[in-house]
Amino acid sequence: MSFKNKLIAGAVSLCTLFGTIAPTPVLAANSTPVYRLYNSQTGEHFYTVFSQEYYNLVNAGWTYEGVGWNAPVSGWYVYRLLNPNTGDHHYCMDTNEKDTLIARGWVYEGVAWGSVSLAWEDRKTARGIPVYRCYNPYATTATHHYTKNANEVRALQRLGWRYEGIAWYGSAY
């Protein structure tokens, strides 16, 4: 069974057993790179741990921007959703946010990767490297951006983006 299928199967099993009122831990070990890609036509940054998906997007014209961060494959789930109207992707840890987007027509694509700590955990006690989330209130697509780089966050804020806090925690390199 592939890594992706194990993550999805684990998510389905745990959600069925415990419900979706809280994030569920990822049941695997080690960490993996999260590839960061950019689509100059839409302005979207896309993130994936799957090398085949990364290669397919590069072959389709997306620009590879490097590894955004390392994600643990043990910890807490980060969910991936797709807006079928815009092609935009969204990533979050909050099951209420995930469920709200699904109710509004977004497609749940499964678990994207893991987080070392919960996004809302106190920064002093959280483990790992924070990955920040920013929102562009002036855009209709590519509205969210995720980065571990605080300087990138500040640059986006100068351009009018809103800082939304820590999205999740990556593994230390």
Burial 95-109 (b: 16+ CB within 10 A, else e): beebeebeeeebeee
Q: pTM of the full predicted structure? A: 0.81
Is the model's pLDDT at 2 over the cut of 80? no
Q: What is the pLDDT of residues 121-131, one digit of tens each?
A: 888 888 899 99
Q: What are 138-147's pLDDT values in tens digits?
A: 998 999 999 9
Q: Rounded distance, CA 138 to CA 151, Å?
A: 21
Residue 142 is predicted with a pLDDT of 92
Share above pLDDT 90 across residues of the chain, in percent, rounded to a whole number: 72
Considering only CA atoms, which of 111, 134, 130, 135 is closest in space to residue 120?
A: 130
pLDDT tens column, 10-25: 333 333 333 334 444 4
> Token digits for 80?
């991936």
Report, as an integer, the average pLDDT of 17-38: 62
Q: Are 127 and 166 in contact (CB under 8 A)?
A: no
The confidence score (pLDDT) of residue 7 equals 37
With beta carbons less than 8 A apart as the criterion, state whether 79 and 96 touch: no
